[in-house]
Amino acid sequence: MRGILERLRGWEGLLLAILIVVVIFNAVSTPHYLRLQNQINLFQLHIEKIIVALIMTFVIINGEIDLTVGSVMGLAGCVMAYLSEKGVPFEVCLLAGLLTGVLAGTINGFMVSYVGLTSLIVTLAGLIGYRGLARVLLENRSIGNFPEWFNRLGQQPLVGPVPLALIIFFILLIAALIILQWSGVGRLIYVIGNNREVARYSGVNVRRVKMTLFVVSGFIAALSGLLLAARLGSMRGDTATGTELEVITMVLMGGVSIFGGAGSMLGVLLSILIILNLRNGMGLLNITGEIQTGVIGILLILSVLVPNIWRGVKEARSRHRVKRAHVED
């Protein structure tokens, strides 16, 4: 609890203040905003993105980036839909979709961890390659006709008014908080993100940690792709295009350093809530999707620029205090 309070005095506190302002503005602007169903819709319409944002937080804090998450979401769903159309048992189709994500993550992780290529180049190539494969599988078609039970899981509540995907998100959020903030694995992720060479000389198996993160990232992206297929009831080769940019925006705006080694899951959660509430508020005010996308683009720029300025100011103040203390002594 003390650690959370300490963070709320910094960047996370500013995010909390922004969130409160956005919520108040939305509540005043439209009478429908505070209704329970709208609050659930606020999450449900973007649930797949915020699930992926959890694992992206780990990857970026570790000093890497995964631009393939949107393409892997689309490819996993397309593999599932393609096999289903061919008459393969649907349970096997779901497993194949998940394994597609694991394979993509393994390829990304191997190229970064063992071949030594930068994750930006590897995952940019993967973004294009995996999306191309999805388009090859489905061409310009939209494939649906999934089993009714599968569609219900994505489109109808599971427990009370809460859908399955939202339950999965909260379970993964709790797990992510525990692992990243209060476990030895989380400390290793931060240490490697700060300085991989120091971590390596300290006996940390840097390759294994990075490999594991990319494999898990591929799996979570594939899971999100299947949840998206269930919610939409169909898949196309271009499904989830551009998802990676909004996911990265959520993470960076949460105060996670693009260079790795800094950030918290609390900040990312607050960032997620800000973006979801902004999108929901703009939707209720009938603001077009193009303008919403433009707003998210501006947030992406600010999410890189402002936290770095914030950290620079804090470091400057810290140096000033140290210098002042030496002068007084």
- C-alpha to C-alpha distance for 174 and 157, rounded to whole angstroms: 21
Q: Over the stretch 81-114, which tens digit does the pLDDT of each residue have? A: 999 999 999 999 999 999 999 999 999 999 999 9
The string of DSSP codes covering 102-168 is HHHHHHHHHIIIII---HHHHHHHHHHHHHHHHHHHHTT--B----HHHHHHHHS-SBTTB-HHHHH
pLDDT category at 211 given cuts 50, 70, 90 is: very high
Question: How far apart, in Å, are the Cα atoms of 225 and each of 87, 92, 229, 275, 310?
Answer: 20, 16, 6, 20, 35
Highest mean pLDDT of the ranges 56-65, 240-249, 297-306? 56-65
Is residue 302 in a domain?
yes
- Domain containing 23: what range? 2-311
The answer to the question of residue 273 being in a domain is yes
CA–CA–CA angle 189, 194, 195 (5° rounding): 105
pLDDT at 1 over 60: no
- pLDDT at position 11 is 77
Assign 13 a pLDDT band (cuts: 50, 70, 90): confident
Q: Is 43 inside any structural domain?
A: yes
The most confident of 93-102, 254-263, 293-302, by mean pLDDT: 93-102
Let me know if residue 322 belongs to a domain. no
What CATH number has the domain bearing residue 40?
A: 1.10.3470
* Average pLDDT taken over every residue of the chain: 88
Of 252, 47, 271, the C-alpha closest to 39 is 47
Residues with Cβ < 8 Å from 291, sequence gap 6 or more? 282
Judge contact between 180 and 186, C-beta under 8 A.
yes
316 domain residue, yes or no: no
* Tens digit of each residue's pLDDT (9 = 90 or more) over 55-80: 999 999 999 999 999 999 999 999 99
Greatest extent of the chain over all pairs of C-alpha atoms, in Å: 80
- The CA-CA-CA angle for residues 159, 160, 163, to 5°, reads 55
pLDDT of residue 261: 87
Whether 325 is covered by a domain: the verdict is no
Query: Which CB contacts under 8 angstroms, 24+ apart, belong to 125-131?
Result: 126/67, 126/68, 126/71, 126/72, 127/67, 127/68, 127/70, 127/71, 127/244, 128/71, 129/71, 130/68, 130/71, 130/72, 130/74, 130/75, 130/104, 131/70, 131/71, 131/74, 131/75, 131/237, 131/238, 131/241
| Residue 123 falls inside a structural domain | yes
Is 320 domain-assigned?
no
Q: What is the pLDDT of residue 2?
A: 56
Residue 12 · residue 264 · CB < 8 Å: yes
Report the distance separating Cα 49 and Cα 69, nearest Å.
9
Q: Is the confidence at residue 43, as pLDDT, over 70?
A: yes
Domain count, the chain: 1
